Structure 1
């Protein structure tokens, strides 16, 4: 097909400095005249291919249009491409895909080196609905329009919200959107997983005083310093929450940790998820909360 041949010619010229019409004709098994018409079509599409005369002549893409492969060594190039491909698994964006395709068309020393790192931000579950939410919020930011949705809080209560999105945030496989909330009349962070029935409205986002991007470590939640005691059977799960360098592997056979967290439902669920493999030593009010929650679990069975 002509379109496939045009794309193949572009990639050839990106990977080589110059090729003659004859070389291209032989490569794609077409006539020289067909190649010349293809070059005209590519130029009309906005990709600047020029003809060079002389013994080293031929067709080539303007150097200003190319990405310099000298910017990266083999490992740097592969790591950049791997990172973008990992993000693309959870952020299905047309522009991001185009960047990946452009990078993939570059030869860096024939790409003999492979990245020693595999990055995948896609999560374990289905991604279609998450991708739809991300794309709707992205469209809201680009079009300067308010979005409306139902939000479910940690108690399971629903509220109707209208927000003015500022920034999409991907952190530890979770998507958030930092926005101005019109219901609360303040800037807030929303978890995409708790947002339902997201709709783009016709309302324009108001021009407000600029605010700093959300900092995960500065919020109005109170913090609590936990002193925890684990069995060695908890190690498989502990690596999901903590760095092993922060753990104290005691001679008494237990593993200890003292760490500060925002006190919320996440902390309680994290402790409960470890079952009988963890004990809260301090503070006492957290011990009481976990005890009461465990009682309610037992009552269900």
Structure 2
């Protein structure tokens, strides 16, 4: 009970300029002598409680120790709590939970208007926790990584940060094999081992650009940039909208959707053709001819794989 009373008193003092010993004694149904001992315990814990003398005197917490409430409104607090709760669910972060309780105690925020789940159901949550711990402790990681070419290569990396984007987690790290910073997509990381080797932080390079970013803007003067026009049936429209975020769109009277992409021609085999084929007969390349030919060639190769020997 005493610990609960001390925690409650701290938040009471944070929320008020000055509180008298008698008011605190009445609220917690204890004697003023007990309040004096509680104040001493709070001060011993490192929280700067100030005593004010006079008729309107009492106790308060040093202003420099408080957070200015004008900096955060209820909307801000709800947004922070939502993000922290999602992080806490994934990483089992007790400090995040403590922060949530503090914010909710100091700021009387309203009912949350949104919820955020950035992967708490994923099977590699344990991997995320291992990576976060390695980043914090600056420990070298060893793992096998499956490249975009399908190669499995052992890597030794110095982890820098975890990045969540486009519905996937990425590890940004210095790769000792490549002697540079690289991004590694978590589902492609195999046989992860957190070594006991410590590393010294390097001067971080900018994060590499994501090759799957469909929203990248190209100028008309960029070399090898082509306009790719795609048409999706109404049955595939929702998935196309999910995937091609930020692309130019046109909705047709027959219920189909046309999308215009500006892409480097070198991007086609890397990501665009596999994605288009995943739509089956619900996607059609309207142009240019070289993209249509590339799709036909890929389909022909797939058919050859199923020919009877």
- Answer yes or no: is the 8 Å Cα contact 2:134–2:141 preserved in 1: yes
Tell me the alpha carbon deviations over residues 29-64 of structure 1, each in whole angstroms, 9 at most, x when there is no partner: 333333322222222221212222223322222111
Match of 1:161 among 155, 161, 165: 155
Going from structure 1 to structure 2, the CA distance change for 1:272 and 1:297 (only over 3 Å counts) comes to: farther
Going from structure 1 to structure 2, the CA distance change for 1:73 and 1:50 (only over 3 Å counts) comes to: same
State the shift of 1:120 in Å.
Answer: 2.9
Tell me the alpha carbon deviations over residues 114-161 of structure 1, each in whole angstroms, 9 at most, x when there is no partner: 45443332354346324323423422xxx3332222223345543221
Query: Match for residue 267 of structure 1?
Result: 272
Matches within 5 A, 1:24-173: 24-107=24-107, 110-112=108-110, 114=111, 116-122=113-119, 124-126=121-123, 128-139=125-136, 143-154=137-148, 156-173=150-167
Stretch deviating more after TM superposition (178-187 or 249-258): 249-258
Going from structure 1 to structure 2, the CA distance change for 1:167 and 1:63 (only over 3 Å counts) comes to: same
Going from structure 1 to structure 2, the CA distance change for 1:127 and 1:151 (only over 3 Å counts) comes to: closer
State the shift of 1:70 in Å.
Answer: 1.1
TM-score, normalised to structure 2, is 0.77
Aligned residues: 291
**CA distance in 1: counterparts of 2:69 and 2:13, whole angstroms:** 14
**CA distance in 1: counterparts of 2:2 and 2:225, whole angstroms:** 63
Matches within 5 A, 1:232-251: 232-243=234-245, 246-251=248-253
- Answer yes or no: is the 8 Å Cα contact 1:89–1:122 preserved in 2: no
State the shift of 1:69 in Å.
Answer: 0.6
**CA distance in 2: counterparts of 1:10 and 1:256, whole angstroms:** 60
State the shift of 1:264 in Å.
Answer: 5.3
SS at match of 1:111: coil
State the shift of 1:194 in Å.
Answer: 1.9
- Answer yes or no: is the 8 Å Cα contact 1:152–1:158 preserved in 2: yes
TM-score, normalised to structure 1, is 0.79
Q: Which runs of 5+ in 2 are unaligned?
A: 214-223
Tell me the alpha carbon deviations over residues 136-190 of structure 1, each in whole angstroms, 9 at most, x when there is no partner: 3422xxx333222222334554322111123322213422122221122222111
State the shift of 1:297 in Å.
Answer: 9.1
Query: Match for residue 221 of structure 2?
Result: none
- Answer yes or no: is the 8 Å Cα contact 1:247–1:255 preserved in 2: yes
Q: Which runs of 5+ in 1 are unaligned?
A: none
State the shift of 1:67 in Å.
Answer: 0.9
Going from structure 1 to structure 2, the CA distance change for 1:56 and 1:202 (only over 3 Å counts) comes to: same
- Answer yes or no: is the 8 Å Cα contact 1:271–1:278 preserved in 2: yes
